[in-house]
Amino acid sequence: MKTPISTGSEWTFDLVERYNHAIREIAVDEFKLDVYPIQLEVITAEQMMDAYSSVGMPVNYHHWSFGKHFVATEKSYKRGQMGLAYEIVINSNPCIAYLMEENSMTMQALVTAHAAYGHNSFFKGNYLFRSWTDASAIIDYLVFAKKYISQCEERHGVDAVEQILDSCHALMNYGVDRYKRPQKLSMAKEQARQAEREQYLQLQVNDLWRTIPKRGKDGSGHAAPRFPSEPQENLLYFFEKSAQLLEPWQRELVRIVRKVAQYFYPQRQTQVMNEGWATFWHYTILNRLYDKGLVTDGFMMEFLQSHTNVVYQPPVTAPWYRGINVYALGFGMYQDIRRICEHPTAEDRDWFPDIAGAPWREVLEFAMKNFKDESFISQYLSPKLIRDFRLFAIRDDDQEDKLLVEAIHDESGYREVRSHLAEQYNLGSREPNIQVWSVNMRGDRSLTLRHVMHHRRPLEAASANEVLKHVARLWGFNVRLESVDEDGEVHHLYECKVDSHVLAMA
């Protein structure tokens, strides 16, 4: 029997080091987690709030909205309404995990296991992160972005820069390529190519407009070629390449916001998987520490209390119910997959013939690597877990008086519940589907966006009108947004006319 690493609740650098060492032995040597090198950083509560408000990154450009988030976080933290998230981890190489100085030793160990080994291995392993983000370059890129933006502020004024950033932020969710794989980011490359890009892009944009066919010149009266030739899902990319009135530096700002949005896109698609994975591993690792006699009963009590809070799922009837807890669902699913491998029931063999009884570590690894929330749920959510959570599906149709219970946790409902839950995590259906539809090349150069309605779901009108102003600022000419129903008929039309005032801003 080994003696525990520590007995008190105070942490020291030496102890953090020793816990990390013990955790590493379990995570890497025993369970074969593949991780980026780890950098643990001890920070203050204020720094945690700061990291929190600038989307978790250690470097970022300045923007008022980060200040707003800081102020809001600080307010609720001071009032004690909110415990600070005790962990932030950055998808970078080395992987940076923050330890807050106020944490007890138990919490530092939990955070280390959760973030530095759980999230870290997820970042390194999951296919979305592998193909969409470059962990070794992100910090460099943000350094570049920060420098570039502050130079713009010096040259063009804080207000001018802020306006463009505001507009880009409003469209951030529409600044990602969902299917193409972007080039890797790197500061060296960015800087080297940036000047060249500015000139080239500007030329391209000008060419685009120069090639507008002159009316009746050749007498053929052909319709102008459609532009864009196909609808574009990446609005920011479209503006960066095609908005005629943007200055080169403004194009670069659009690009920066787009790159950052793209970097965070995988995170938004893998919340259940990522948090579940990290939670599964801190739970597994710390229990292992206990089995090895390296931590005390007191340590386990504190850890389990914290863990239980994290994975608590209030029922729909609870006043504090706020939807499904991604930690609970994700943790539950990985635990369940392990169970199916180790102790399969007849039902499991029926539903998961491939994995029932298979080596759990490999199955888990495969599940972590090759899915996003939506496909992960539709692949692995088991009848047992649906029963454990007592999941049920409800249809809310605004043309009906009442809500309809579509399916519950019974034999006939499992598949339906599972597919609805998967759909709930499909970003493509959670967010309105809006694309660049056409540009009036022969006339006023106005831009038309199309919202293709899904299940008759409308846009929220007030915010749509606000966002459209931002679109107009970037585009520089009038913009329209058509909500088109499933029969292809325009259901609702939003418009924003550009007056000289907006133009002056653009």
Partner 1 sequence: MAHIIDRRLNGKNKSAVNRERFLRRFKSQIKEAVTKAIKGRSITDLESGEKVSIPVKDISEPVFHHGQGGVWDYVHPGNEEFIKGDKINRPQGGGGGGGKASNDGEGEDDFVFELSREEFMSVFFDDLELPNLVKNQLIGLEEWKTVRAGFTSDGTPTNINVVRSLRGALARRVAVSAPTLSQLSEAEEELDTLLESDEDNDIEVREKRRNIHALRERLSHIPFIDPFDLRYNNRVKEMKPTSKAVMFCIMDVSGSMDEAKKDMAKRFFILLYLFLERNYEKIEVVFIRHHTSAVEVNEHDFFHSRESGGTVVSSALNLMKEVVSKRYNPAEWNIYAAQASDGDNWDSDSVNCARVLDDFLLPVSRYFAYIEITEGEPQNLWYEYLKLQPSHPHFAMQRIHSAADIYPVFRELFKRQPNHAAAR
Residues 103-162, interacting with partner 1 (CB under 8 A): 116, 158, 162
Handedness of CA 114, 115, 119, 121 (dihedral sign): negative
Give residues 284-313 in contact with partner 1 (rule: CB under 8 A): 313
In the complex, least distance from residue 44 CB atom to partner 1, rounded to whole angstroms? 5
- Rounded to an integer, what is the distance from CA 421 to the centroid of its chain? 18
Long-range contacts of 70-78 (CB under 8 A, 24+ apart): 73/49, 74/49, 77/45, 77/49
410 binds partner 1 (CB under 8 A): yes
489 binds partner 1 (CB under 8 A): no
Q: Is 110 exposed, middle or buried (0-12, 13-18, 19+ CB in 10 A)?
A: buried
405 binds partner 1 (CB under 8 A): yes
Q: In angstroms, what CA-CA distances link 184 with 91, 135, 142, 189, 262?
A: 14, 9, 13, 9, 11
In the complex, least distance from residue 412 CB atom to partner 1, rounded to whole angstroms? 7
DSSP one-letter string for 414-443: HHHHHHHHHHHT-HHHHS-EEEEEEE-TTT
Q: Is the peptide bond before 94 cis (omega within 30 degrees of 0)?
A: yes
404 binds partner 1 (CB under 8 A): yes
In the complex, least distance from residue 152 CB atom to partner 1, rounded to whole angstroms? 14
For partner 1, the closer CB: 73 or 133? 73
Tokens found for residue 406:
């579509």
In the complex, least distance from residue 473 CB atom to partner 1, rounded to whole angstroms? 13
444 binds partner 1 (CB under 8 A): no
The set of residues, in sequence order, having a beta carbon less than 8 Å from that of 471 and lying 6+ positions away, is 167, 171, 235, 447, 449, 479, 481, 496
Q: Is 461 exposed, middle or buried (0-12, 13-18, 19+ CB in 10 A)?
A: exposed
Candidate segments 36-44, 85-93, 215-223, 274-282, binder of partner 1 by CB under 8 A: 36-44
The set of residues, in sequence order, having a beta carbon less than 8 Å from that of 365 and lying 6+ positions away, is 125
For partner 1, the closer CB: 116 or 128? 116
Q: What is the DSSP letter of 232?
A: B
From 261, 453, 479, 506, residue interacting with partner 1 (rule: CB under 8 A): 453
102 binds partner 1 (CB under 8 A): no
In the complex, least distance from residue 357 CB atom to partner 1, rounded to whole angstroms? 29
- Cβ atoms 419, 218 nearer than 8 A: no
Candidate segments 121-129, 198-206, 333-341, 447-455, binder of partner 1 by CB under 8 A: 447-455
37 binds partner 1 (CB under 8 A): yes
- Cβ atoms 44, 74 nearer than 8 A: no
505 binds partner 1 (CB under 8 A): no
In the complex, least distance from residue 210 CB atom to partner 1, rounded to whole angstroms? 32
421 binds partner 1 (CB under 8 A): yes
Q: Residue 495 and residue 330: Cα distance in Å, rounded?
A: 42
Q: Residue 84 and residue 76: Cα distance in Å, rounded?
A: 9
Coil vs helix vs strand at 136: coil
Give residues 167-196 in contact with partner 1 (rule: CB under 8 A): 169-174
In the complex, least distance from residue 487 CB atom to partner 1, rounded to whole angstroms? 14
In the complex, least distance from residue 219 CB atom to partner 1, rounded to whole angstroms? 43
Give residues 465-484 in contact with partner 1 (rule: CB under 8 A): 466-467, 470
In the complex, least distance from residue 351 CB atom to partner 1, rounded to whole angstroms? 18
Coil vs helix vs strand at 21: helix
423 binds partner 1 (CB under 8 A): yes
Q: For tokens 């759980």, what's the residue?
A: 118
Whose CA is closest to 171, among 229, 226, 228, 240? Answer: 240
For partner 1, the closer CB: 42 or 187? 42
Q: What is the DSSP letter of 28?
A: I
For partner 1, the closer CB: 54 or 106? 54
From 42, 55, 84, 358, residue interacting with partner 1 (rule: CB under 8 A): 42
From 34, 342, 350, 460, residue interacting with partner 1 (rule: CB under 8 A): 460
For partner 1, the closer CB: 4 or 458? 458
From 8, 9, 32, 41, residue interacting with partner 1 (rule: CB under 8 A): 41
Give residues 357-396 in contact with partner 1 (rule: CB under 8 A): 389-396
Handedness of CA 436, 440, 441, 447 (dihedral sign): negative
For partner 1, the closer CB: 217 or 455? 455
From 20, 106, 279, 478, residue interacting with partner 1 (rule: CB under 8 A): 20
Give residues 244-263 in contact with partner 1 (rule: CB under 8 A): none
For partner 1, the closer CB: 116 or 341? 116
In the complex, least distance from residue 423 CB atom to partner 1, rounded to whole angstroms? 7
Give residues 52-71 in contact with partner 1 (rule: CB under 8 A): 53-54, 62-68, 70-71
Tokens found for residue 252:
């670069």
Candidate segments 193-201, 245-253, 343-351, 416-424, binder of partner 1 by CB under 8 A: 416-424
